[in-house]
Amino acid sequence: MPLNKLKQLFVPNDGNFFELMQKQAEIACASSAILCDMLVDHTDLKVKTNKIRLLEHEGDQLMREIYTSLNNTFIVPIDHGDISSLASGLDDIIDLIDHISTLFVIYKLDQPSPPMVQLSKIVMEQATELKSAVAALNHSRTYGQVAKHCNKIKSLENKADEIYLRAIEELFDQNDPILIIKQKELLECLESTTDKIDKVAQHISDIMMRHS
């Protein structure tokens, strides 16, 4: 697809939707890296959580800008709903990462379980692939890489499902019911984040298929 036609999918004449969504993807990626660091190096949790919270605020501002642009732009090359859904999905990823980091501070776990660490690494890998997928939309020479990044995200999501199911099975071998509740919720949130990233990647693929 020619570069000018590809840009028209996300950048109407009087809007900058693509640029704003690219920034959202970058924030999701940065947040996921901090979250992973929280679990791998389980120190300075409040400092790291505050960094994620600041990024989440930036994400909220981007979402407001996107909605404002949508409300003021009457002619767009694709449905307003597609732009809104994709931007909302990216914002949800940022919110989920922020929520998980907050739970780790509130629950005061001595140490994350190995499956939690594994899942956080998958979230970071997926977010990195998602950032690359969104960036690839802006250049005709890299357009073909979108499918590669989305397929990688799906593969990582499948891996996350396996880790999550094994972790839940092993979780109930413990005797501390409070610890089980805390760990179960954290595992569920991490797994839900991998699902959400996969859904956003699928949405990108669907839009490209309809407009290619």
The predicted structure's pLDDT at residue 138? 66
The predicted structure's pLDDT at residue 11? 45
Interval 103-118 mean pLDDT = 94
The predicted structure's pLDDT at residue 14? 44
Alpha carbons 107 and 105: distance in angstroms, whole number: 6
More confident residue, 139 or 59: 59
* 20-70 pLDDT, tens digit each: 889 999 999 999 999 999 999 989 999 999 999 999 999 999 999 988 877
Superfamily of domain 3-211: Phosphate transport system protein phou homolog 2; domain 2 (1.20.58.220)
Closest by alpha carbon to 179, among 102, 93, 110? 110
Interval 2-16 mean pLDDT = 50
* 191-212 pLDDT, tens digit each: 999 999 999 999 888 877 766 6
**Dihedral Cα 138, 27, 58, 203, nearest 10 deg:** 60
Percentage of the chain surpassing pLDDT 70? 83
Q: Predicted confidence band at 13 (pLDDT cuts at 50, 70, 90)? A: very low
Lowest mean pLDDT among 40-49, 77-86, 173-182: 77-86
Rg (CA), the chain: 18
